[in-house]
Amino acid sequence: MIGIQKESYPECTFTISRKLEPVLRAQMLAQIRVALLSEDGKRVMAEMLKTFNREQLIPVRQEEYAGLGALLVPVWGFH
């Protein structure tokens, strides 16, 4: 069998509710991103990364996964 990978999907993600006021949501996203990608964040996340057999978290842009939120609509607590 031969396959072609057209799109990539995140294995694990962090989300923040869209119910938050947009400016506060943007600030929280920025702060969480900086914290998780910092040296302290890397130390704190090391055990989780080991669990998922990964070396590091990588920064992504929301545009890279545009539309994939629709997959989570049936998941309790997502919206």
Q: Where exactly are the structural domains of the chain?
A: 19-56
What's the pLDDT tens digit per position in 41-76?
Answer: 999 889 988 988 888 888 887 787 777 777 777 877
Task: Write down the mean pLDDT value for the chain.
Answer: 80
Distance CA 14, CA 32 (A): 9
Helix (H, G, I), strand (E, B) or coil at 47: helix
Angle between helices 22-37 and 39-51 (to 10 degrees): 80
Kind and range of the H or E run holding 52: none
- Whether the predicted pLDDT of 4 surpasses 80: no
Reading the block at residue 26, the tokens are 């943007």
Q: Looking at residue 72, what is its pLDDT? A: 74
